[in-house]
Structures are given as structure tokens and as C-alpha cells.
Amino acid sequence: MSFTLVRRAVPRVNRSELAVPGSQPKMMEKAAQSGADVVFLDLEDSVAPDDKVQARANIIKALNEHDFGASVVSVRINGLDTHYMYRDVIDLLEQAGERIDLIMIPKVGTPADVYAVDMMVTQIEEAKGRKKKIGFELIIETALGMQNVEAIAAASPRNESLHFGVADYAASTNARTTVIGGPNPDYVVLTDKDSDGNRQVHWGDMWHYAIARMVVAARANGLRPIDGPFGDIGDKDGYLAQARRAAVLGCEGKWAIHPSQIELANEAFNPPAKEVDRAKRILAAMKEAQAQGRGAVTLDGRMIDAASVRQAEVMVAKAKLIAGGKSKAKASGRGARA
Ligand code: GLV
Ligand code: MG
């Protein structure tokens, strides 16, 4: 291990993250009962400019009046390039009570963007004597943000998670797509001809690089990597396939832009029982091996060693966190050094 310690963010279950427009009070009321691991109330792109002020008031009312149960509650503020953002932060933290857990910052481009919001939040928390320390969710959804993702991930001790905003990222990088997430039939590999002269088309995942890069930056800084939206609400199989790819790469959850996607996300990001069981067997086998002075043994015909133990510990810890309930966040808000 490196001598540099990675400080882990507050551990929270973050499999499903439901997006709800702040301009839709009825939807916010329903979202409070949705059972999503995280609910984020939106002031940004799902709200038209003329509705921004009203949406802010709606969200403050919803946070004061609805019981969001065990869900972690986040609010996506407007971008730092708008004139709405400063008042989003001030009004939310001064008027929305203690129920808000996280602020989601969209289109983060540089660490200074995070620094600026941190400065405002810190002042308001202190001035108002707020008890709960607000955490940050950061959306990586521009070429600039992806270029600076490592520095952004390290920009504030409030940072908890990085999110891949596939729609804006596609726009920013000029990726050729007009849908939100999922594969593209032009992003394929053609095999050589077989003996009958036939060639096969293998679909590729055009988002692989972006998600994998974000996962590395998140994990190197103790943050949760979260996959963003999938726009085709009717395509459950497509959603699950995208979510499972993200889970395999290390993401902890995915957005649900419709309540029907909550269960799909929870399913995709629950570690499979079979894998948890194998992880427990690895830990048991290695404990026995160590007692006998051995550093590596075989289990089911496969070699396992100290790295297998670390993988198994991650899997078992995740299963435990999910089984133990929604959020382990303490009011003090910060995780321990790991
Ligand atoms: C989310 O904000 C996205 O742009 O995909
Ligand atoms: Mg976006």
C-alpha cells in the first residue's frame, strides 16, 4: 500500500438516485415515499428558466413538509455560470431546515468551482449554526470536467460522490448521439470474415472510457462513483445492461429519471448473493491459510491471495452496508481515514 492514505467519504447506500424536477410539487411528494436510496430535487436542467424561482420555493416547502424517510436527500443547484446559483445555495441552507443532506453541483469544470460553493456553504453553516455538515455530489459532464476530474475529486472534504452526466458530456464532447445514455449502433467492431465469409458485429460501449476514468478519480479520493441517466424509460433491459456494466467497473449506483428505474438500479447494484457467498468463503479460506503460514491457496480450483482478501472485504462490506439500512452518515458528516 502507498504511504498516502485515502480518506473515505461518508458511507451511504447509493444504488438508486431518483431525479425529481423542483417545478413538480406532486412528483416531489411521491418521491418522498419512493424508497430510492437518494432523492435529488432538481433546480437545474429539468426546470425551465421562467420556473426557477418558483421551483426553489417548491423545494424548500417540500423539504420542510414531506417525510423523506430513510432516503438521503440532495438538491441539484444551478450551474456556477448562471445568476440563480448563489441564491439556490443561500435560500436552501437558510430556509430548508436540516433535512437536506447533499448539494449536487452540475457541470463542475475545475476544482475552483467546488471551492467556491464550499466557501458559501461553510459561511452559511457557521452563520446559521447548522448542525449537519452538507456533503457534495459533483456531476462530471463536460470535457473540461473530465480533463480535471482528479483535481475536482480532491477539491473539498465535503465531496462524497462523482456522477457521470452522460447527456451533457455527449453534448460537450460532440459525441454523435441524440439519446441519453446507452450504446450507439455506429460504435461497433467488425470481426474478420470467418471461413464462410461472414462477419460479426460486436457492439462496443462508447461510455466506457469516461466512466472508467471517473471511477478511478472517485476511488483514489474515497468517493462514490455513480452512473447518470438512461433516457429510454421503457427499455428496462437496456437500463439494466448499462447499470450492470457500470457496477462491474466499480460504480455504486445509477440515476433513476423515472420511479420505475429505482428497483432496476437497486437490483443491478446489490452485490449478487453468489458473489457475496464466494467472498465470505475466500475470507474464511485465507484466514485458515494464514494460520498455517501460507500466503496463497486455491479455492474452487482458483488461486487466491492477499489481493483476493481485499476484493472479498470490499464485497462483504458493501453487502453489510446495504443490509444494515440506508445511510450510515453521522451528523458530523465525515468518514474515517481508511
Ligand atoms: C445529467 O445531468 C446529464 O447531463 O446527463
Ligand atoms: Mg446534465
pLDDT in tens, the chain (338 residues): 888 889 999 889 999 999 999 999 999 999 999 999 999 999 999 999 999 999 999 999 999 999 999 999 999 999 999 999 999 999 999 999 899 999 999 999 999 999 999 999 999 999 999 999 999 999 999 999 999 999 999 999 999 999 999 999 999 999 998 899 999 999 999 999 999 999 999 999 999 999 999 999 999 999 999 999 999 999 999 999 999 999 999 999 999 999 999 999 999 999 999 999 999 999 999 999 999 999 998 999 999 999 999 999 989 998 998 888 654 443 333 333 33
pTM confidence score: 0.92
**Which ligand 1 atom minimizes the distance to the CA of 180?**
5
Rounded CA separation 220/225 (Å): 11
Environment class of 76 (CB within 10 Å of its CB; exposed 0-12, middle 13-18, buried 19+):
buried
Atom index in ligand 1 nearest the CA of residue 167 equals 5
Question: Which ligand 1 atom lies nearest to the CA of residue 228?
Answer: 5
228 Cα–ligand 2 center, Å: 9
Q: What is the pLDDT of residue 331?
A: 33
Query: What are the backbone angles phi and psi of residue 132, rounded to the nearest 5°?
Result: -90, 130
Q: What is the pLDDT of residue 324?
A: 83
Beta bridge partners of 7: 337
How far apart (Å, rounded) are the C-alpha atoms in residues 145 and 127?
31
Q: How far apart are CA 111 and CA 154, in angstroms?
A: 8
Residue with CA closest to ligand 1 atom 1: 165
- The whole-number pLDDT of residue 334 equals 37
Mutation choice for ligand 1 from 40, 74, 139, CB with most ligand atoms inside 8 A: 139
pLDDT at position 247 is: 96
Residue 333: the pLDDT is: 35
CB-side exposure of 222: number of CA atoms within 13 Å? 19
What residues contact residue 25 under an 8 Å CB cut-off, 6+ apart?
58, 61, 62
- CB atoms under 10 Å from CB of 27, counted, come to 19
Q: Residue 12: its pLDDT value, please? A: 95
The predicted structure's pLDDT at residue 27: 97
Q: Which CATH class is domain 16-269?
A: alpha beta
The minimum-distance atom of ligand 1 relative to the CA of 229 is 5
Give span(s): CATH 3.20.20.60, the chain.
16-269
Return the best residue to mutate from 169, 172, 206, 257 for the ligand 1 pocket (most ligand atoms within 8 A of CB). Answer: 169
How far, in Å, from the CA of 333 to the mean position of ligand 1?
Answer: 26
pLDDT score, position 250: 96
- Residues near ligand 1 with C-beta < 6 Å? 45, 139, 141, 165-168, 228-229
Nearest CA to ligand 1 atom 3: 165
Give how far the C-alpha of residue 125 lies from the chain's centroid of Cα atoms, to the nearest Å: 24
pLDDT at 1: 84
